[in-house]
Amino acid sequence: MDLSFDPRHPDFIENPFPALLRLMEHEPVFWSEKLHGWVLTRHDHVRASLRDPRLSADRVRPFLAHYKGPERGVVQGLVERLSMWASFNEPPVHTRLRGLMNKAMTLPSVLALEPRVRALADELIDAALQRGEMDMIADFAYPLSATMIAELFGVPRADVPLLKKWSDELGAFIVQSRTLANKYAIAAGGLRAMTSYFEDVIAERRRHPREDMLSRLIAAEEKGDFLSAEELFACCALLFFAGHETTTHLIGNGMIALLRHPEALAELRDRRADTMLMSLAVEEMLRWDGPLLMMARVAAEDVELLGKRILAGSRVFLMIAAANRDPRVFPDPDRFDIHRQDNRHIAFGNGIHYCIGAPLARLEARVAFPRLLERVLAPELATSKLVWRDAFVVRGVDQLPIRFARPAPAPEP
């Protein structure tokens, strides 16, 4: 059995599942020479590892410690700022940061956005209807998710393209684009610009608080403790970056799944008012081809798994995409089934680092798809070849052109 595993190979980028499932079946705890780290693929191992305190989410500081390239000064500056992100910390630092963030991003505040999500989805669809075509990413998924995050922060919608530009530059480091030259300098520039932007916004909000998430972040308090200025900047960058990136690819990958399964698309269109079925469908989109390919950890101490010793300091790649197709957990795992019950996917992670933006991502998808299915008639892919992102963290496309039937013109009065 050939267990060669090359995440840089074009075949893997386009469709990682065959290679991942071979590993799951034959060597679920696999040492990868190409990645210089361990690759875990089984659902039980990945799920448990996400909760295991011996496997640390603090992976940016170890990256700096091992980095020997010519841009060490640039990387050090990046790491200093990113090390304040909750997602790159463990308790007690993570506990404090996440607790204060949770006070600002409450479930009621997210659910209250439903009418605004629906109105924005209709606005974006309106802009494309008469063309009979659109790019589902650039014209819908990205502006929907990024605009909703901007509105949560209370920043002008006109600033979204700038924030998106800086976020994409930062993503060159965080999601590890493998082909972009000078990616560390580009990421550092994006993070500096985003930090400077939020410095000004936070200063204004301190003077004039509003009913928005940013004002709640500033005011968040636990036993007399508040987020520092630097921590506030870090929270803003994290929430904007993660908030729009995940939802964009959830909607994009979900649409691809529906276009490739026309019977599911037709049923959801016919039953688009069935909120329970739509919720099941969104969970299946997250499981079948979700927005995250993997999550990385670093062993804080030696760990033994299936007779393999993972030494302290080793990188561990938790393959979310593989775990979500584990036949031990999901019957007929390669089938896209919008009726799937007891869907125990881990697309948003597990444990203390579970995605803080998961409720917002789910809400946007549950609202967006019924609007698309009702108003965008007979959609089909407008390309014979989708180009998947050359990244090892996120899973998605940057362009998703579709064409559809134009609505009939209104009759003359």
Q: 341: which residues sit within 8 A by CB, 6+ positions away?
A: 280
Structure-token pair, residue 395: 């899973």
- The band of 175, judged by pLDDT with boundaries at 50, 70 and 90, is confident
The letter for the amino acid at 95 is: T
- The band of 406, judged by pLDDT with boundaries at 50, 70 and 90, is confident
Query: What is the pLDDT at residue 5?
Result: 85
Q: Would you say 291 and 251 are in contact if contact means Cβ atoms under 8 Å apart?
A: no
Q: DSSP for 102-153? A: HHHS-HHHHHTTHHHHHHHHHHHHHHHHTTTEEEIIIIIIHHHHHHHHHHHH
The answer to whether residue 3 scores a pLDDT higher than 80 is no
- The band of 396, judged by pLDDT with boundaries at 50, 70 and 90, is very high
Query: What is the pLDDT at residue 243?
Result: 84
Query: What is the pLDDT at residue 280?
Result: 98
The answer to whether residue 338 scores a pLDDT higher than 80 is yes
Half-sphere exposure of 275 (CA within 13 A, CB side): 3
Structure-token pair, residue 243: 């908030």
Query: What is the pLDDT at residue 65?
Result: 79
pLDDT tens, 203-249? 999 999 999 999 999 999 888 999 999 999 999 999 988 888 899 99
pLDDT tens, 76-109? 888 888 899 999 999 999 999 999 999 998 899 8
Half-sphere exposure of 362 (CA within 13 A, CB side): 20
The secondary structure of residue 87, as a DSSP letter, is G
Q: Would you say 284 and 340 are in contact if contact means Cβ atoms under 8 Å apart?
A: yes
- Average pLDDT for the chain: 92
Q: Would you say 249 and 396 are in contact if contact means Cβ atoms under 8 Å apart?
A: yes
The answer to whether residue 382 scores a pLDDT higher than 90 is yes
Q: Would you say 257 and 288 are in contact if contact means Cβ atoms under 8 Å apart?
A: yes
The answer to whether residue 412 scores a pLDDT higher than 70 is no
Q: 235: which residues sit within 8 A by CB, 6+ positions away?
A: 85, 86, 97, 101, 217, 227
- The band of 360, judged by pLDDT with boundaries at 50, 70 and 90, is very high
Query: What is the pLDDT at residue 223?
Result: 81
Query: What is the pLDDT at residue 336?
Result: 99
Q: What is the pTM of this model?
A: 0.94
CATH of domain 10-403: 1.10.630.10
User: What CA–CA distance (Å, rounded) separates 197 from 330?
Assistant: 45
Q: 395: which residues sit within 8 A by CB, 6+ positions away?
A: 16, 249, 253, 289, 290, 291, 292, 293, 321, 388, 389
Query: What is the pLDDT at residue 68?
Result: 78
Distances (CA, A) of 330 to 203, 222, 283: 49, 41, 13
Query: What is the pLDDT at residue 103?
Result: 92
Query: What is the pLDDT at residue 332?
Result: 97
Plot region of 378 (φ>0 → left; ψ -120 to 50 → alpha; else → beta): left
Distances (CA, A) of 162 to 12, 32, 167, 190, 234: 32, 38, 8, 10, 17
User: What CA–CA distance (Å, rounded) separates 321 from 333?
Assistant: 11
4 Cα distance to chain centroid: 27
pLDDT tens, 265-320? 999 999 999 999 999 999 999 999 999 999 999 999 999 999 999 999 999 999 99
Query: What is the pLDDT at residue 179?
Result: 59
How much of the chain exceeds pLDDT 90, in percent? 78
Query: What is the helix (H) or strand (E) element at residue 298, kind and residue range?
Result: strand 295-299
How many residues belong to the chain? 413
The answer to whether residue 1 scores a pLDDT higher than 90 is no
The answer to whether residue 19 scores a pLDDT higher than 80 is yes
pLDDT tens, 110-145? 999 999 999 999 999 999 998 999 999 999 999 999
User: What CA–CA distance (Å, rounded) separates 158 from 154?
Assistant: 12
Pairing outcome for strands 37-40 and 315-318: parallel
Query: What is the pLDDT at residue 413?
Result: 52
The answer to whether residue 260 scores a pLDDT higher than 90 is yes
